Amino acid sequence: MSVTDQAALEAAIRTYQDPYLSKDLFALGAVSSLNVDAQGKVSLALTMPYPCAGIQGAMVQLLSNALEDVDGVDSVDITVSVSVQAHQCPRDVPAVAGVKNIIAVASGKGGVGKSTTSINLALALAQEGARVGILDADIYGPSVGLMLGIPEGTRPKTEDDKFFIPIEKHGIQAMSMAFLVDEKTPMVWRGPMVSGAVQQLLMQTKWGDLDYLVVDMPPGTGDIQLTLSQRVPVTGSIIVTTPQDLALLDCKKGIEMFRKVEIPVLGVVENMSVHICSHCGHEDDLFGSGGGEKIAAEYQAELLAKMPLHRTIREQTDSGFPTVIAAPDSEIALRYRDVARKVSAIVADRISGQQTTFPEIVFS
């Protein structure tokens, strides 16, 4: 093929813009190789910087159509893989063995659906093709085990009497204080003891080569939040709120805390944004409206999603099969999958530092 045809192939590939990073695949450095043989067969290998199984089929189809329109192209073969890069903490904080990125899911107050968001985000990241774990950092009220359907009394195995082996369920790794004590045992501990326990759970768990570790934070801005923020290489945080004015007030405090410790806020999830009647489908703004947009705009953060208040979300989570697992094709599950792609794309963009690489195009 001629030089003109080479330029045409590049131009065809550039017609596809990543929907989450608004860049073409060359600008993303996602084109690993591009080969054309004498029979006009184009072989394109892509390495995406974030897990994107949910849009992979559409991406391959659009690229195939664009390349097949180039003169001289007889057939197209496209392969897609994912390579998630590890976060490099700018502060002098040791990395967590076996973990590339840590995403803290926090809220200024309790009862806004933070744990539900954490669980469904972790499961959605796994469905998008990532290796994922979740740490329940709420020592006083751990709920991750219940939400994952892990039977009461389940205990993690240990290795060399030094490390816990995380419990696997629904394709993700999990660790929680609930796995170490009886569920009726109250944790009557002061702040320093709780912070130390969270650090031990994090550092003394043998995580298995995770792309993302989702940390379900306790509500508020206390000892645990400061400990994790200052002593753990957190990649970024997600703030969960409801449209209610009181929740928004506390949400601002949570964002300000992360800003002070120089942890980026990746986005805001607005839960209970609208109530959907389980009988007639009527929608009602029980807790107000527009709060998530206001917070996101004020702090230059992205509004990741507006999740409805729906009975099935509670029922599925309480049963140990969160929505992403129980109803993977439902609108709510698809919203969580979209949040997972948004968050992982934002993380990839921050890590890459907008570095651009171009592959060598080989003609044979």
Quick: pLDDT tens for 308-333.
888 888 899 989 999 999 999 999 99
pLDDT category at 218 given cuts 50, 70, 90 is confident
pLDDT of 93 reads: 84
| Tens of pLDDT, residues 104-137 | 999 877 788 899 999 999 999 999 999 999 999 9
pLDDT-derived band at 282, boundaries 50, 70, 90: low
Question: What's residue 364's pLDDT?
Answer: 43
pLDDT score for 190: 62
pLDDT at residue 99 greater than cutoff 90: yes
The boundaries of every CATH 3.30.300.130 domain in the chain are 3-83+352-363
pLDDT reported for residue 1: 47
As a whole number, mean pLDDT of residues 239-263 equals 82
Say whether pLDDT at 352 is over 60.
Answer: yes
pLDDT band at 253 (very low <50, low <70, confident <90, very high): confident
Nearest to 141 by CA among 181, 186, 111, 191: 186
Answer yes or no: is pLDDT of 292 > 60. yes
What DSSP string runs through 7-59?
HHHHHHHHT-B-TTT--BTTTTT-EEEEEE-TT-EEEEEEEESS--HHHHHHH
pLDDT at 223 over 80: no
Averaging pLDDT over each range in 69-78, 215-224, 242-251, which range is the top one? Answer: 69-78
When pLDDT is averaged across residues 174-190 and rounded to a whole number, the result is 75
Q: What is the rounded average pLDDT for all residues in the chain?
A: 87
Rg (CA), the chain: 22
Q: What is the DSSP letter of 142?
A: -
Kindly state the average pLDDT of the residues 211-228.
85
pLDDT of residue 281: 66
What number is the average pLDDT over the span 134-157? 91
- What pLDDT, on a 0 to 100 scale, did the predictor assign at position 147? 95
Q: What confidence category does residue 277 fall into, taking pLDDT thresholds of 50, 70 and 90?
A: low
CB 55 within 8 A of CB 341: yes
pLDDT at 358 over 60: no
CATH of domain 3-83+352-363: 3.30.300.130
Q: How confident is the model at residue 146 (pLDDT cuts 50, 70, 90)?
A: very high
Under CATH, domain 99-328 is a member of which superfamily?
Answer: P-loop containing nucleotide triphosphate hydrolases (3.40.50.300)
Q: Which of 42, 31, 49 is nearest to 6 (CA)?
A: 42
The mean pLDDT of 36-52, rounded to a whole number, is: 94
At 355, is the pLDDT very low, low, confident or very high (cuts 50, 70, 90)? Answer: very low
Is the CB of residue 166 less than 8 Å from the CB of residue 96?
no
pLDDT of residue 3: 46
Average pLDDT over residues 34-56: 94
Say yes or no to pLDDT of 187 above 80: no
pTM of the model: 0.90
Q: Where does the chain hold its CATH 3.40.50.300 domain(s)? A: 99-328
Among the residues of the chain, which ranges form H helices? 3-14, 53-68, 114-127, 144-148, 191-203, 223-231, 245-260, 291-298, 311-318, 323-326, 331-352
Tell me the percentage of the chain whose pLDDT exceeds 90: 56
| In contact, 249 and 157? CB cutoff 8 Å | no
